[in-house]
Structures are given as structure tokens and as C-alpha cells.
């Protein structure tokens, strides 16, 4: 892979990086077995961007394959699985050469590859080919699933070098002090804790005084506290003066693997991923070996729910344990494995397939820490909570596309799945994976069943790398429609409706009380916390379960919300603690994140907010009055911007009439930002300035800047002018050019006014100081200017002659629109002012575009886990211990499984309540006249023994003892206090009460007042 397609691999590049992707682009991968697990691994590996993938399978498609092999159709039955899957696998990523091999596995074939993955293979094959691969330096992976259990094994050879253990950005911190001692102690700035660990190696830069550290090789540290650590002997070094940055230096390391035949006997190589299931997973290590022995002897898997076969398998496990010497066996797990081994489940394959594909990426890229060497996973808690819920004749396989699932759960459960009505919010990466799983398991695919999916976004090129239902020909189409169409191809029986609505208050007319009450559950595949919080609130209102999952690079999490059993997703607990202080952005940046945010703020202000204000001024009569109501300081800033952009440059304003004037504006703007403003700052705070305590002003996080001098031969200087001029032209409808030569020609005639710093200018050092000055109000000169602007903008002739502007919405993924050109140049010039290391376009896009790094492997694993929880919801599991929340990091095979938390309870008038307890009141009492407020109070008193003393609808007070309201209908009182009509779609009013019996209680059940 000589050139990486950054448009396609955009989000994955932020997980793996260019170097790792280049290494992957030289790797040939063999994936053997094209049942559901094999095709899942192949899909993820092909999307990741290796050089080539060969899929091997000698077998023909069977009915049981269709329950999890998403690239097989009923018309493919009886044909070779690899051949039938080839075209669709190839279409996933044209940059990867994909081929099929329908012959047997042999030594000659395997030696053509650098990575070999076996699925659906015998233990003899695993040992034989594992030995070959180990001896020849071929990275070897085995993945297997049987029913609700999965297995993963890795052998990357005698010696395998890992270049980056976890893929995390190297930690860095700013230095406040360093002692001359043995060992020397480094004290970091206290604006945030350092994230170093014992044994990390670090390097130093920009240290003044103790300059010896700047040229030393990376050194090991020992953490002393959240803001300090010790290093080498510094007693003979120069005295520390100021400044300095310490940065983690990632160290490569080597790992040694055992071949499978040896690893089978080494229990220490079991990676425990669930500490609540240690005995079970140790047992499964033996049970999978026993299962291979059973198949070899009987030439078949154990029969469905056959007690004799289960006892035979258990006996074989006990024989193996005579050697393994496990203290305890989970015999129930062995029986469950035997009962369900013929099952082939899409969610299990999605999870194990995601993990296995991530190991392939590690093998190809040498990034992240590989699995060493065994991993087992089970979801046996998906089985019915009571054994008597299963009937033997419910498991006969009848030649249907869901046979692989019926083998585990039976026909009755399959029918229940098909009758479900689910609402999926989001058709992006997780949404696509969920829809694939929904199609395979048959969710909503029967009579009475239905799936509604909504997503307001349209498909872009960068989506194709992980939103695997989309192809290049779908670019520009609505995501929800393209996804729905793709899963109908997978399962023609799918009942699915696609919407393009944003979920929120504006769409409550469609997603109203009747809509939610008709659902069995909701799945959240959203990429923002606000959307999850809103959806969670609607689910609590309507007592519906919710499945939720998210990813961040190789990290993933899942959550299940079960009415009355678990807590809900809850409120948005994110805070603005990580927000950059305004004074840091305006005057004292010390990290590239600060200069990028500054550039983004300038983009939004100049090219979006000012044009929007101008257009509002021209179209909205109340704009001026509203703006003045925001305070004099804000009004002055907004109205100054409006006036300047209405007045032509020749008349003293900033409105250009030609491309040449756009270039002239950009050049003068450059001078203001990178020379004049810095000179003014240094005039107020000279380099030698000291604080009241005698310490240097420019120290710690305050980096002393220097002004830049414009140079038309400097590419960054010219890129700023080119991008700024083009964007400035766009907001006025003036076309520009990228031609540097013609721009340089225009610049020769641009007059740049001279600048002298002013002593009257005050620059705020802290946000507190800024707020205090803002509270004092504007001075006389500002007041006079505000009055002048009001007079000018009130002129009728101004609006008559003005032309509307064209605001620009920031779009990071279009490399032709000048947006990222501007951000990169503007940020790096400011970074140069402050001697901050510059960021390339790739890194700048990540930070300024607030991109969430993403990779297909994590997405597949998350969607698989979400659908395992879906099985439990559909069965109606009532035990909290049956459900799981999860958090994992595929980069280092770190997993945390936990039971969901119970909802917090509170006491009211001697009774226990949770957030799931509400008082549902039929306001129209089955078609009668609507209740009065007095009727409502009486109803609550009679049914719940509580006396309403106050009642709120949002912030509005509906009732606070006003007796005259007792005879008014509840809806009329709500309309009166809110001064607004109740929308026709609003079928339920949430009324927040307090009760006389416990008036001081901060919590009380919501009264859900129905208007149906």
C-alpha cells in the first residue's frame, strides 16, 4: 500500500497511524472457513486495509449457515461458501485484493501468507498447521464458536516485536520545577495530573537552566505523586530555571509464543477476561478439546439437547482434567456447550470475529499487544433462566434460515424475535452492524414485527471503512435508506422502515406516545451523549428497555437498560472541566490543541457567525433590539461585525467587491493576528516582566511569544492568505483561486498599515479578571461607538442596498473547500508565535474536527454484545445477574464485565420508589370529559394516598395551592401557565409534584398525565 487513501481510511488512521497502515499494506492474509465467523473476520480484515485476503472453504452453504453468514442467500444453498461470498467481500474495499480458494488446506498454500486464520477447523488441523506456521514465522490465529461459547488462540512465533503496546498518544506534561538531587524530582504544572506510570521512559525538551536534560537519551521514571516523579541523578546538573516539556517515549518490546501443541497444556496462557467466570473458562479450555475429540470419534457434533451426548462430552472433559488437574470443573457449562454446539449465532460470531480480526491487525502492523495466547468467552446467561422453559420438540431443525439460532433457543423464541417491534436510532457504524445482526437473527422479520431506523446523515466516503453496509455508489444517499435496503438483501423477510429524522423535541410529533407505546424496545447507535440522554429519557417515560453501545478507537462499551430492574443511562454528567480557559486561547496558548481551537473559533466567528448576523439583520426586524438586550459588550462586538461587513472597503468597512480586495483583507488579517497582536501583548507584558511575587511572568504554562514577519516565499504564510482570501470571498459570493503566483502578484500592491502598540490596552491574564471587567460594563468610548452604530444601522437606505451573505458551515472531510487549509495554516502560524511544535494536516483534522477515531473490529464486537443483551430482553429475563454491561480495550485485550446497577431507590411517605415508578393518570378517563385539577388531586389521593401540594410542568408552576384552579381542566391550566398551546401530538404531560405527606423530599414520582 504505497499511498494510503486518507479519505477512505480517515477514522481508522487515527486508531492505527500511517506507519502501521503501511505495514498492513504489505501483508497477505489467509482466512480458512467461510461460515458466519469466517466471513465476519474476513469483512473486518478487508475493511482494515491489508494487501490481500484469500478466503478458503471446501464446503457448501447449508441452512444453518444463513443464521450468521451475511453474504450467503437462500439461492446459494449447495454452492461453495467461499465462491458465493467472494464478490461481496471484494466490494467492501477495492484497495484489497480478495480471492477464493476452494481446495483443501496444505503446506504449499499456507507458505504464501504472512498471517493465517483458521475457523471451523479440527484440532488435528490446528496442531499440524500451527506447528508449520510457528516454524516458518507465519502468524497463526485460531477462532471458533459453538452456540453461545467462543474461543480464540494466537501464536505469533518464537519472537514477535510490538512497536506500540496500546496505541495511546504519548503522555506529556509541562514542567514547573526540577530538583538538583539524587534522584532528581520533576514537579509538573498543577493544571492537570500527569499520566505517567512507573517504568515509563521519557525525554525532555525546552528546559531552561538544567539544559543537560534536553539532549539526554530517554530515561526511566518513578512516579512520586499525581504531579511529580523522579528521574536520574541531577545533583551535578545546572540549576533549573524555567520551562520544559516532558514526553513519554514509547518503547518497543518482544514477545515469545508457544506453538498450539504446547500451549494447549499451559493453563497460564489463558487470558482471563471475566473474573466472575474463571472456573468456567478454564473448563471451556478442556471442553473445546473434548468437543474436537467427540467429533473425531462420532463424526458429528453432539445432538441438540441430548443428555447422553452431554454426559459423554463431560466424561471426556474429566479425562482431560486428569492431566490438567483443575481444582473445579463447571459441569453445567460443559452440558450447555454440548446442548448448543450445533448452534451458529450471529452475535457471538460478531464479537469473536471482531476480536480475531483485531489480532490479525496486530500481527500485520505490530501495533497493540497481541493475545497471549488463549481467550474464552461465553454468554450462557442468554439461555432461559428456568430450564423448564425448554421443550425437546421445540428444537427440531426444519430447513429455515434461522436453524443455527433455533438450535440454541428453539422455535418458540424464534417466533417471539420475529414479532418484536424495535426502534434503532442511528445507522452509522454501530447501526450498520446492529442491522446486520437484526437481519440474521430475524428481529422484527415476522408477522406483526417491525424495525424503524432513523438517521439524518448522508453517506460520505469516510464512512465506507467501517459502515460496511455502504458502498462507493451509495455516497450522497441517506444512511438509513441505504442500510435498510442492504439488510433487506440479507434477509428479504425484514420489515423495516427508514426515516431521516433527528431524534429530539422537534421530531416528537412523529415519535410520540403512540409510537413509543407500540415498541418492544429501543437500540441507541448514537455518537453523542446528548442524543443518548434524550433517548434514555423517552424510554423511561414510556417504560421501554434500551440497548446502548459506543466506541472510541479500540475501546468499546455496552449498556442495557431494563425497566424496573436496572438504572437508566442517566443525565449528561460530562462537565466543562476540560474546556480551555478563554485567556489561554486568546493570549497564553501552550499546546497545539489551544492553537487549533483558536483557529476554529476564528473560522466560526469570521465565516459563519458574522454572515449569519448580517443576514438576520437584513431579514429580521427584531434583530437589533434582541442584540442590544444581550448587554453592551456583546452588542458592540456583534453590531461592529454587521456594520463592517455591510460597508465597502473603500468606505472604511470590510466588504470586498473583488478577489483582489479579498487577498488584501487576508494579508492585513495575517499582519494583525501574527504580528500586531503579539507586539501588543509583549508591550503589555515584556519578556522580562515579573509578577508581584518577583517570579518571571513568562514561565510555567505561559510561553513568551514572538511576532512573525510576513514572507511571500514561506508556504505556511501563503497558505493562510490563500485559504483566508478564498473563504472571505465565498461569504460574499466572490470566486477565488489556489494559484500562488497570481496571489503573490496581488500582494505586491497591498498596503499594510503600520502599527504601534498602545499603553491604554488592557489584556486579561485570567478568565476571572475578564469576567470582572465585563461585569463593570463598557466605558464611555464604547458607549459612544455603540450609539453611533445604532444610528448607522437604523438607516433605511442601508438595508435597501445591502446584499445577503453566505455563511459557511465547517466541513473537515472536503479537501477542496479551504476549511482545513485555513485551520492548519492559522493554527501552525500561531504555534510558531509561541514556539509550540506544529501539527500536520492529519493531526489537525483530528483535533479541530473533533473526530472520533474508529475501526470496524471494535464496532463489530460492540454490536455483537448488544445483541446478546437483546436475546435476554426478548426472553424477558428477570434476574439482574443475567444481564451484562461491558467495557473493553481490544488493543490490549482488556475486558470489564459487570452486572448493571439497580436503580437508586428513595422513600416517600413510607414507601420505596425508583425512577421507574410513576403515577400514570388517564386524563380523559376512557373518553369522558377531561379531569380538572381538583379531580387529579382527588385521583392521586384515592389511588396513591398522597396529597398534591405543588405541581410543575417543566419550569412552569401549574399548582401551588390556588383553589380557583381546582375547577379548571388540567390541560387548560398548563396552557395558561406556559402561555402556549399543547401540540396536537403531545399525548402525555409530565407533571412533577410535591406531596404534603413528605413535602421536603427532593424526589417524587412523576405524574404521567395522558391526553388520549
Global pTM? 0.89
Evaluate whether 813 touches 739 at the Cβ level (below 8 Å).
no
For residue 108, pLDDT beyond 50? yes
What pLDDT, on a 0 to 100 scale, did the predictor assign at position 159? 95
The dihedral built from the CA positions of residue 127, 133, 136 and 139, taken in this order, carries a sign that is negative
Tell me how many helices (H) and strands (E) the chain has.
34, 31
> In whole angstroms, what separates CA 730 from the centre of its chain?
33
Backbone φ and ψ of 501, nearest 5°:
-105, 140
| 304 confidence band (pLDDT: 50, 70, 90) | very high
What pLDDT, on a 0 to 100 scale, did the predictor assign at position 1? 43
Q: Cα(503)–Cα(243) distance, rounded to whole angstroms?
A: 48
Strand residues in 240-283 grouped as ranges (E)? 245-248, 253-255
For residue 393, pLDDT beyond 80? no
For residue 113, pLDDT beyond 60? yes
Is omega for the bond preceding 373 within 30 degrees of 0, making it cis? yes
Q: Cα(774)–Cα(778) distance, rounded to whole angstroms?
A: 8
Residue-wise pLDDT tens digits, 33-64:
999 999 999 999 999 999 999 999 999 999 99
* Number of neighbours of residue 1 by Cβ within 10 angstroms: 17
**What is the average pLDDT across 225-242?**
93
Computed over every residue of the chain, the mean pLDDT equals 92
Evaluate whether 852 touches 429 at the Cβ level (below 8 Å).
no
What CA–CA distances, in Å, run from 102 to 33, 109, 110?
A: 10, 12, 14
Backbone φ and ψ of 227, nearest 5°:
-125, 10
Is omega for the bond preceding 651 within 30 degrees of 0, making it cis? no
What pLDDT, on a 0 to 100 scale, did the predictor assign at position 887? 96
Among all chains, which residue has been given the C-alpha cell 530515561?
219
Q: Cα(236)–Cα(136) distance, rounded to whole angstroms?
A: 52
Give me 136's grid cell.
Answer: 516458518
Q: Sort strands 185-188 and 253-255 into parallel, antiparallel or unpaired.
A: unpaired
Residue-wise pLDDT tens digits, 909-936:
889 999 999 999 999 887 788 999 999 9
CB neighbour class for 254 (10 Å; exposed up to 12, middle 13-18, buried from 19): exposed
Q: Cα(932)–Cα(949) distance, rounded to whole angstroms?
A: 15
Q: Sort strands 139-146 and 149-155 into parallel, antiparallel or unpaired.
A: antiparallel
More confident residue, 912 or 1012: 912
For residue 67, pLDDT beyond 50? yes
What CA–CA distances, in Å, run from 279 to 61, 177, 993?
A: 36, 51, 50
Residue-wise pLDDT tens digits, 432-465:
999 999 999 999 999 999 999 999 999 999 899 9
More confident residue, 206 or 254: 254
What pLDDT, on a 0 to 100 scale, did the predictor assign at position 397? 84
What pLDDT, on a 0 to 100 scale, did the predictor assign at position 973? 94
Residue-wise pLDDT tens digits, 844-890:
999 998 888 999 999 999 999 999 999 999 999 999 999 999 999 99
CB neighbour class for 134 (10 Å; exposed up to 12, middle 13-18, buried from 19): buried
What pLDDT, on a 0 to 100 scale, did the predictor assign at position 276? 86
**Quick one: DSSP state of residue 824?**
H
Q: Cα(531)–Cα(969) distance, rounded to whole angstroms?
A: 34
Backbone φ and ψ of 133, nearest 5°:
-65, -40
DSSP sequence for 186-201: EEE-TTS-----TT-E
For residue 784, pLDDT beyond 90? no
Evaluate whether 582 touches 770 at the Cβ level (below 8 Å).
yes
- Indicate the SS3 state at residue 59: coil
What pLDDT, on a 0 to 100 scale, did the predictor assign at position 169? 86
What pLDDT, on a 0 to 100 scale, did the predictor assign at position 576? 43
- Indicate the SS3 state at residue 462: helix
Give the angle subtended at the CA of 920 by the CAs of 915 and 922, to the nearest 5°.
165
**What is the average pLDDT across 808-824?**
93
Residue-wise pLDDT tens digits, 636-647:
888 888 888 888
For residue 528, pLDDT beyond 90? no
* % residues pLDDT > 90 (the chain): 77
Q: Cα(130)–Cα(337) distance, rounded to whole angstroms?
A: 25
Evaluate whether 203 touches 215 at the Cβ level (below 8 Å).
no
Evaluate whether 852 touches 527 at the Cβ level (below 8 Å).
yes
Q: Which residues are catalytic?
A: 583
Q: Sort strands 885-889 and 894-898 into parallel, antiparallel or unpaired.
A: antiparallel
What pLDDT, on a 0 to 100 scale, did the predictor assign at position 800? 67
For residue 777, pLDDT beyond 70? no
Instruction: Taking each helix axis as running N to C, give the angle between helix 479-490 and helix 429-441, from 0 to 180 degrees, rounded to the nearest 10.
Output: 30
What pLDDT, on a 0 to 100 scale, did the predictor assign at position 630? 74
Residue-wise pLDDT tens digits, 338-347:
999 999 999 9
* Number of neighbours of residue 835 by Cβ within 10 angstroms: 13
More confident residue, 878 or 798: 878
Q: Of 5-14, 32-41, 591-600, give the lowest mean pLDDT range.
A: 5-14
- CA-based nearest residue to 13, from 878, 845, 883: 845
Evaluate whether 230 touches 224 at the Cβ level (below 8 Å).
yes
Q: Is 453 left (phi over 0), alpha (psi -120 to 50) or beta?
A: beta
For residue 575, pLDDT beyond 60? no
Amino acid at each position: 500500500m504505497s499511498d494510503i487513501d486518507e479519505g477512505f481510511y480517515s477514522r481508522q488512521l487515527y486508531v492505527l497511524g500511517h506507519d502501521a497502515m503501511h505495514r498492513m499494506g504489505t501483508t497477505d492474509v489467509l482466512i480458512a472457513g467461510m461460515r458466519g465467523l469466517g466471513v465476519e473476520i474476513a469483512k473486518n480484515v478487508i475493511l482494515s486495509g491489508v494487501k490481500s485476503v484469500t478466503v478458503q472453504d471446501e464446503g457448501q452453504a447449508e441452512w444453518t449457515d444463513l443464521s450468521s453468514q451475511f453474504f450467503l442467500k437462500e439461492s446459494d444453498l449447495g454452492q461453495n461458501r467461499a465462491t458465493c461470498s467472494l464478490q461481496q467481500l471484494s466490494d467492501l474495499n477495492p484497495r484489497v485484493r480478495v480471492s477464493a480458494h476452494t481446495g483443501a488446506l496444505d503446506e504449499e498454500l499456507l507458505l504464501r501468507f504472512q498471517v493465517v486464520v483458521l475457523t471451523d477447523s479440527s484440532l488435528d488441523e490446528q496442531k499440524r498447521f500451527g506447528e508449520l506456521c510457528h516454524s516458518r514465522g507465519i502468524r497463526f490465529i485460531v477462532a471458533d464458536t459453538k452456540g453461545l461459547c467462543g474461543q480464540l488462540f494466537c501464536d505469533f512465533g518464537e519472537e514477535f516485536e510490538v512497536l506500540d503496546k496500546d496505541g495511546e498518544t504519548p503522555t506529556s506534561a509541562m514542567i514547573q520545577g526540577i530538583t538538583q538531587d539524587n534522584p532528581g524530582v520533576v514537579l509538573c504544572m498543577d493544571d492537570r495530573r500527569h499520566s505517567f506510570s512507573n517504568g515509563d521512559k521519557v525525554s525532555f525538551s525546552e528546559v531552561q537552566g538544567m539544559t543537560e536534560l534536553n539532549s539526554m537519551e530517554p530515561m526511566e521514571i518513578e512516579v512520586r505523586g499525581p504531579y511529580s516523579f523522579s528521574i536520574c541523578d541531577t545533583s551535578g546538573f545546572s540549576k533549573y530555571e524555567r520551562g520544559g516539556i516532558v514526553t513519554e517515549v514509547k518503547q518497543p518490546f518482544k514477545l515469545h509464543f508457544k506453538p498450539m501443541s504446547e500451549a494447549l497444556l499451559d493453563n497460564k496462557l489463558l487470558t482471563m477476561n471475566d473474573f466472575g467466570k474463571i472456573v468456567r473458562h478454564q473448563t471451556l479450555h478442556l471442553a473445546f478439546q473434548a468437543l474436537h475429540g467427540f467429533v473425531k470419534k462420532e463424526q458429528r457434533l453432539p445432538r441438540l439437547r441430548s443428555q447422553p451426548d452431554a454426559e459423554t462430552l463431560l466424561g471426556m472433559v474429566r479425562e482431560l482434567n486428569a492431566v490438567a488437574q483443575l481444582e473445579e470443573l463447571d459441569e453445567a457449562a460443559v452440558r450447555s456447550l454440548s446442548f448448543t454446539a450445533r448452534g451458529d449465532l450471529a452475535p457471538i460470531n460478531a464479537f469473536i470475529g471482531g476480536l480475531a480480526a483485531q489480532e490479525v491487525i496486530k500481527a500485520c502492523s505490530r501495533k497493540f499487544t497481541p493475545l497471549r495466547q488463549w481467550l474464552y468467552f461465553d454468554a450462557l446467561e442468554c439461555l432461559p433462566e428456568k430450564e423448564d422453559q425448554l421443550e425437546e420438540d421445540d428444537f427440531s431443525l426444519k430447513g429455515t434460515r434461522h436453524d443455527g439460532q433455533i438450535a440454541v433457543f428453539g422455535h418458540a423464541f424464534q417466533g417471539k424475535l420475529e414479532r418484536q417491534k424495535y426502534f434503532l436510532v442511528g445507522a452509522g457504524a454501530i447501526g450498520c452492524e446492529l442491522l446486520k445482526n437484526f437481519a440474521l437473527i430475524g428481529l422484527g422479520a415476522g408477522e406483526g414485527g417491525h424495525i424503524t431506523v432513523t438517521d439524518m446523515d448522508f453517506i460520505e466516503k469516510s464512512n465506507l471503512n467501517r459502515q460496511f453496509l455502504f458502498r462507493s455508489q451509495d455516497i450522497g444517499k441517506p444512511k438509513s435508506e441505504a442500510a435498510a435496503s442492504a439488510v433487506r438483501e440479507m434477509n428479504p423477510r425484514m420489515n423495516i422502515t427508514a426515516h431521516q429524522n433527528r431524534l429530539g423535541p422537534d421530531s416528537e410529533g412523529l415519535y410520540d406516545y403512540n409510537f413509543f407505546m407500540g415498541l418492544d424496545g429501543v437500540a441507541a447507535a448514537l455518537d453523542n451523549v446528548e442524543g443518548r440522554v434524550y433517548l434514555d429519557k423517552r424510554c423511561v417515560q414510556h417504560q421501554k428497555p434500551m440497548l446502548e453501545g459506543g466506541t472510541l478507537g479500540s475501546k468499546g462499551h455496552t449498556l442495557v437498560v431494563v425497566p424496573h430492574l436496572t438504572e437508566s443511562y442517566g443525565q449528561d454528567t460530562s462537565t466543562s472541566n476540560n474546556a480551555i480557559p478563554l485567556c489561554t486561547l486568546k493570549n497564553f496558548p501552550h499546546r497545539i490543541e489551544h492553537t487549533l481551537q483558536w483557529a476554529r473559533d476564528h473560522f466560526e466567528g469570521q465565516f459563519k457567525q458574522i454572515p449569519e448576523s448580517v443576514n438576520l439583520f437584513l431579514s429580521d426586524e427584531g434583530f437589533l433590539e434582541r442584540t442590544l438586550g444581550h448587554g453592551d459588550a456583546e452588542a458592540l462586538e456583534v453590531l461592529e461585525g454587521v456594520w463592517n461587513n455591510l460597508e465597502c472597503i473603500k468606505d472604511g468597512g470590510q466588504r470586498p467587491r473583488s478577489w483582489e480586495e479579498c487577498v488584501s483583507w487576508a494579508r492585513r488579517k495575517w499582519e494583525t493576528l501574527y504580528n500586531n497582536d503579539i507586539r501588543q501583548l509583549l508591550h503589555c507584558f515584556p519578556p522580562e516582566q515579573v509578577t508581584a511575587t518577583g517570579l518571571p511572568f513568562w514561565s510555567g504554562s505561559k510561553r513568551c511569544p514572538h511576532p512573525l514577519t510576513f514572507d511571500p516565499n514561506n508556504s505556511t504564510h501563503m497558505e493562510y492568505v490563500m485559504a483566508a482570501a478564498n473563504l472571505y470571498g465565498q461569504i460574499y459570493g466572490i470566486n477565488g483561486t489556489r494559484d500562488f503566483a497570481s496571489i503573490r502578484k496581488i500582494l505586491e500592491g497591498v498596503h499594510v498599515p503600520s502599527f504601534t502598540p498602545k499603553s491604554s490596552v488592557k489584556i486579561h491574564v485570567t478568565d476571572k479578571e475578564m469576567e470582572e471587567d465585563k461585569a463593570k460594563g463598557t466605558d464611555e468610548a464604547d458607549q459612544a461607538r455603540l450609539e453611533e452604530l445604532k444610528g448607522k444601522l437604523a438607516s433605511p437606505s442601508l438595508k435597501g442596498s445591502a446584499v445577503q451573505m453566505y455563511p459557511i458551515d465547517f466541513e473537515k472531510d472536503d479537501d477542496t473547500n479551504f476549511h482545513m487549509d485555513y485551520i492548519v495554516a492559522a493554527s501552525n502560524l500561531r504555534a510558531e508565535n509561541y514556539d509550540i511544535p506544529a501539527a500536520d494536516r492529519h493531526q489537525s483534522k483530528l483535533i479541530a474536527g473533533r473526530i472520533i477515531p474508529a475501526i470496524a473490529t471494535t464496532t463489530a464486537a460492540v454490536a455483537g454484545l448488544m445483541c446478546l443483551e437483546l436475546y435476554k430482553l426478548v426472553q424477558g429475563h428477570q434476574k439482574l445477574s443475567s444481564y451484562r454491561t461491558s467495557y473493553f480495550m481490544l488493543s490490549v485485550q482488556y475486558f470489564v464485565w459487570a452486572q448493571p446497577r439497580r436503580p437508586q431507590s428513595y422513600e416517600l411517605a413510607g414507601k420505596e420508589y425508583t425512577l421507574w415508578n410513576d403515577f400514570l393518570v388517564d386524563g380523559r378517563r376512557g373518553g369522558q370529559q377531561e379531569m380538572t385539577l381538583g379531580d387529579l388531586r382527588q385521583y392521586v389521593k384515592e389511588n396513591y394516598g398522597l396529597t398534591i401540594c405543588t405541581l410543575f410542568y417543566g419550569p412552569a408552576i401549574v399548582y401551588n395551592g390556588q383553589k380557583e384552579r381546582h375547577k379548571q381542566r388540567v390541560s387548560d391550566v398548563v396552557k395558561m401557565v406556559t402561555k402556549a398551546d399543547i401540540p396536537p401530538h403531545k399525548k402525555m404531560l409530565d407533571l412533577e409534584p410535591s406531596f404534603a405527606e413528605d413535602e421536603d423530599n427532593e424526589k417524587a414520582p412523576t405524574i404521567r398525565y395522558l391526553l388520549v
